[in-house]
Amino acid sequence: MRAELIEIDSQIFGRNVLAIHDFDIYSDFAAFERSYVAPHAPAYVSCKVPVENIAGIHALEDAGFRFVECQIRSSIKLRKTHDTSPYRYSFERVTSEEDLAAVLEIGGATFLHDRFRADPCYSPGDSGRRYQAYVAQSFRSPDEAVYRLIDGSNGNTVAFKTHRYVSPTEVLFLLGGVHPDFKNLGLGLINEYFEFNELIRKGINRGVTHISASNYPVFNLEIGHLGFHVMTTFAVLRKVYNC
């Protein structure tokens, strides 16, 4: 097992936030916990395990962790492009701070289904600032990218997508959102179509993503309509320390 300091979450929360990886039910968890509490004095520690690992979930609960989210990892093969000619939008990579600002405005307001917004240890404002920080990180990271969907009638940014290049042929889909003023108008699907086309043009043929099972709109869009296939389902648990 190992505990990783999550820098962005720690900055937003104002105290250290950690994530446990490679949880091992057979290890001495009490000793392991002492090994990360002493140097980091964390406020919040999370761990995710496959939902079928009931013994692991119960062991984390016995250690004071509580369930906060069911998360789904899914993948899609990018084989065919989509006809976007009927739409008055364009899709381009964000390369300037000015265009990034418009994306960050959306990122701070669009997400409603996430474990941080629902967690009493976080405020709704924390959640919005957290997503903005992750979008900004994608803008500056050489292996990640931010794209925006542009309304051709006025040049406004109406949606965005971010992803990480895992290999020359695979990406990890990160964040995506639609401006709150334009939700429920089908822009989520259009945004996906444009991103898929751009990735295929770059030689990408596979994408992986993680979504909250409570995010029904995205769940239905990606798995029900676009053909994403479920790979793994996780239980995400967290423990708070003097929250």
pLDDT in tens, 105-163: 999 888 776 777 777 777 767 888 999 999 999 999 999 999 999 999 999 999 999 99
Judgement on whether residues 119 and 157 belong to the same structural domain of the protein: yes
The predicted model gives 85-97 an average pLDDT of 97
- Indicate whether 55 and 102 sit together in one domain: no
Residue 30, number of CB atoms within 10 A of its CB: 9
pLDDT computed for residue 243 by the predictor: 67
Lowest mean pLDDT among 41-45, 59-63, 115-119, 182-186: 115-119
Is 86 found in the same domain as 61?
Answer: no
Q: Are residues 158 and 190 in the same domain?
A: yes
- DSSP class of residue 16? -
| Average pLDDT score over residue span 70-80 | 96
Query: Is 10 in the same domain as 67?
Result: yes
**What is the average pLDDT across 9-17?**
92
Q: Give first-to-last CA distance, the chain, whole Å.
A: 24
Question: Residues 32-45: pLDDT tens digits?
Answer: 999 999 999 999 99
Mean pLDDT of 70-82: 96
pLDDT of residue 126: 81
Domain assignment present for residue 229? The answer is: no
What is the C-alpha to C-alpha distance for residues 236 and 110, in angstroms, rounded to an integer?
22
CATH code of the domain in which 98 resides: 3.40.630.30
- Among residues 188, 147, 187, 189, the alpha carbon closest in space to that of 164 is found at 147
Q: How remote is the C-alpha of 166 from its chain's centroid?
A: 15
Domain shared by 194 and 125, yes or no: yes
3-state class of 218 per DSSP?
Answer: helix
Sign of torsion, CA 117 120 122 124? Answer: positive
User: Does residue 17 contact residue 10 with C-beta atoms inside 8 Å?
Assistant: yes
CA pair distance 241, 103, nearest whole angstrom: 34
Q: Which residue has the higher pLDDT, 55 or 214?
A: 55
Same domain, 180 and 87: yes
pLDDT for 228 beyond 70: yes
Residue 145's domain spans which residues?
80-204
Instruction: Give the model's pLDDT for residue 44.
Output: 94
Question: What's the length of the chain?
Answer: 243
CA–CA distance, 200 with 197 (Å, rounded to integer):
5
pLDDT of residue 117: 75
Helices (H) and strands (E) in the chain, counts: 8, 10
Q: What is the pLDDT of residue 190?
A: 97
The verdict on residue 214 lying in a domain is: no
Does residue 205 have a pLDDT over 70? yes
> What is the b/e burial string over 53-71, where b = at least 16 CB atoms within 10 angstroms of the residue's CB?
eeebbebbeeeebeebbbb
Residue 242's pLDDT band, with cuts at 50, 70 and 90, is: confident
Residue 225 lies in a domain: no
Give the number of domains in the chain: 2
Q: Is residue 224 a part of any domain in this protein?
A: no
Domain identity same for 108 and 175: yes
Residue with tokens 């084989």: 79
